[in-house]
């Protein structure tokens, strides 16, 4: 996992627009016991997900982000893909639950990409356009 610490809204919005990987926004506080437990869980699965970006956001340092994402409890994880929120959890999670959640969100995103490519193929065929315009499909066999 790529790990970043963000305290400013602008930096986070820029990251969301430009990052193609799954982003996990980890809202936490230094004084929060469950946050420390979830930090250890995230560190334990870090090596399994080189295609995920983990963003650490301390709620005491990033008030605009806390308000903008309606954070009412910590720890909270917000999962973002292609600038869309695709999942949200609150509370400490076990490593098994977190791994399943990440894999589920990565798989769902691949399904959306496949559906978009299928729609493009149908459009090209209907318009008698060259099918060579189709993007190449890349499969992730890690899922």
**Closest to 81 in 3D by CA, of 19, 14, 9, 10:** 19
Distance of alpha carbon 18 from alpha carbon 102, whole angstroms? 20
Q: Which residues contact 69 (CB under 8 A, 6 or more apart)?
A: 25, 27, 76, 78
Active site (catalytic) residues: 32, 35
* DSSP per-residue letters across 65-96: HHHHTT--SSSEEEEEETTEEEEEEES---HH
């Amino acid at each position: 996992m790529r790990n970043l610490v963000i305290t400013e809204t602008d930096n986070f919005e820029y990251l969301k627009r430009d990052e193609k990987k799954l982003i996990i926004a980890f809202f936490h506080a230094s004084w929060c016991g469950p946050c420390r437990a979830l930090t250890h869980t995230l560190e334990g699965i870090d090596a399994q997900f080189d295609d995920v970006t983990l963003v650490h956001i301390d709620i005491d340092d990033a008030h605009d982000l806390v308000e903008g994402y309606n954070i009412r409890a910590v720890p909270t994880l917000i999962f973002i893909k292609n600038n869309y929120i695709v999942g949200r959890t609150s509370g400490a999670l076990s490593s098994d639950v977190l791994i399943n959640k990440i894999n589920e969100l990565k798989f769902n995103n691949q399904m959306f990409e496949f559906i978009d490519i299928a729609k493009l193929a149908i459009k090209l065929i209907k318009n008698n356009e060259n099918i060579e315009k189709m993007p190449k499909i890349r499969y992730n066999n890690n899922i």
